[in-house]
Amino acid sequence: MKAPVLGRFFGQAKVETLPDIAAAALRSDRFRLEREGDWKRLESILVKMERGRLRTLPDDDILALPALYRIAASSLAVARETSLDKATLSFLESLVQRAWFQVYGPRRGLIGWLRGFLGGGLSQSVQQIWLDICIALAAMVAGTITGWLLVRGDQEWYYSLVPSQFADTRVPGASREVLLQSLAVDKDAQGLGAFATYLFSNNAGVAIMAFALGFAFGVPSVLLLVQNMAILGAMWWLYSNAGLSWEFAGWLGVHGTTELFAILLAGAAGIHVGRSMAFPGKRSIMSATAISGRRAAQVMAGVVMMLVVAAILEAFPRQLLGMQDRLMIGGSMLALWLTYFFALRPPKASAISGDIR
C-alpha cells in the first residue's frame, strides 16, 4: 500500500507517493551527474579568477569560460522549470551569478577607475571637446565685454545685471575706500566652512545649468554663459573705475581661475552634446548623442571636483590672504589646470572613442 504525502502545487492540494518522490530525486541526480563536470570546471576557473590568479589559467579554460557560463545558465533555467532539488538550484544560481560577473562585469574596481580617470581619461575627454571649449570661451569673453560696456554707458545697467547679494556696498558711486574694504582680508575664519558649502552649491548650480541646457542644440548654454559673465564685466568696471583693477583681480583670481575654468568646461560639455544633436554627421542622432553624452558626463565629473577645490579656495585663501598671495595661488591654479588638461597626453585607450568634430 502506497503511503500518501501531502504537498502544495499552485495553491492546489496534491498527493504524492513515495515512489513519485524517489523518481523525482533520481531525475535530479541524473541531471546533476550529466552536467556536474562542466559545473565543477567552471567553478574551479571562477575560484582562480576571483583570487587574482588569472595568469595561472590555461588558455583552454579561458576560451571555454563563455561556453561554460552558457551551459550553467541553461542548466539553471532547466532546474527552475523542472523544480529540481533546492540544493542544486541554489548552487546553480550562485555559480551563474559569479560567472556573469567575470564574463560581463566591470574589469576595474573603483580605485582602478579613479586611477584611469585622473591619469588620462578626464584630460583626454577635455581635449576632445576643444572646439566646444573655444565656443564657450568666446561666449564668456563676449559676456564680460558686454557687461563692461553696458555699465560704462549707463550705470543703471549695473543694478539689472548684478544680483542683490553682490550689490551691498559694491555699487556705482561707492568710494574707493568702501570698495577696497570689500576686498579686505578677513581675520576671523569662523563660519568659513559653511561659507565654502554655500559657494560650492551656488557654483555647482550654474555649472549644472550650463551643461543641462545643452540639449537645445547648445544655444541656451551659450546664453547662460554670456549672462553670467556680464555680471563679472559689470563688477570689473566698478572696481576698475575706482582704480582697484589689480586688487579685484587678486580677490577674484585666487578661486576664479578654477571656478571659471569649471564653468567653462561645463558650458562646453553642454554645447558639445547640443552640437552633436544638431550635426550628427554620418551617425544617427541617437548614436551621436550617446557618444557625446558619455564624454560630456566624464567632463562633468571633473567639473564637480574643480568646483570643490574652487569653493575651498574661495572660502579660505581668498578670505585670509593678501593680494599677492591671492594672485600667486590663482596663477598657479590656472597653470596647473592648463597643464593637466592640455599638456598631458594620456594613452589613446583611456579615452572614450568616437570623437565628434
Residue 154 DSSP class: -
pLDDT of residue 346: 58
- Do residues 329 and 254 lie in contact, with contact meaning Cβ atoms separated by under 8 Å? yes
pLDDT of residue 341: 92
Which of 143-147, 154-158, 253-257 comes out lowest in average pLDDT? 253-257
The percentage of residues in the chain with a pLDDT greater than 70, rounded to a whole number, is 78
Which triple of cell numbers denotes residue 314?
Answer: 574661495
pLDDT of residue 11: 47
Residue 65: which residues within 8 A CB-CB, separation 6 or more?
42, 45, 99, 102, 103
Give whole-number Cα distances, 156 to 160, 234, 236, 318, in Å.
Answer: 7, 11, 15, 29
Q: Which residue has 560650492 as its cell numbers?
A: 200
Q: Residue 105 above 70 pLDDT?
A: no
Give me the mean pLDDT over the 197-209 stretch. 73
Output the average pLDDT for the chain.
Answer: 80
Q: Residue 2 above 60 pLDDT?
A: no
pLDDT of residue 186: 61
pLDDT of residue 5: 43
Distance (Å, whole) CA 248 – CA 318: 11
Q: Which residue has 579656495 as its cell numbers?
A: 313
pLDDT of residue 318: 66
- Do residues 34 and 40 lie in contact, with contact meaning Cβ atoms separated by under 8 Å? no
306-331 per-position pLDDT tens digit: 988 888 887 776 666 777 888 888 89
Q: Which of 43-52, 56-65, 259-268, 339-348 shows the highest mean pLDDT?
A: 259-268
pLDDT of residue 272: 94
Distance (Å, whole) CA 303 – CA 211: 10
Confidence of residue 143 (pLDDT cuts 50, 70, 90): very high
Give me the mean pLDDT over the 135-139 stretch. 95
Which triple of cell numbers denotes residue 237?
Answer: 568696471
Residue 152 DSSP class: H
Q: Residue 350 above 50 pLDDT?
A: no
pLDDT of residue 126: 93
Q: Give the chain's length.
A: 357
Confidence of residue 354 (pLDDT cuts 50, 70, 90): very low
Which of 1-15, 163-177, 202-216 comes out lowest in average pLDDT? 1-15
The percentage of residues in the chain with a pLDDT greater than 90, rounded to a whole number, is 24
The more confidently predicted of residues 254 and 336 is 336
Confidence of residue 3 (pLDDT cuts 50, 70, 90): very low
Confidence of residue 334 (pLDDT cuts 50, 70, 90): very high
Distance (Å, whole) CA 237 – CA 248: 10
Give me the mean pLDDT over the 181-189 stretch. 65
Burial of 205 (0-12, 13-18, 19+ CB in 10 A): exposed
52-103 per-position pLDDT tens digit: 787 888 888 888 888 888 888 888 888 787 766 778 788 888 888 888 888 7
Q: Backbone dihedral region of 68: left (phi > 0), alpha (psi from -120 to 50 degrees) or beta?
A: alpha
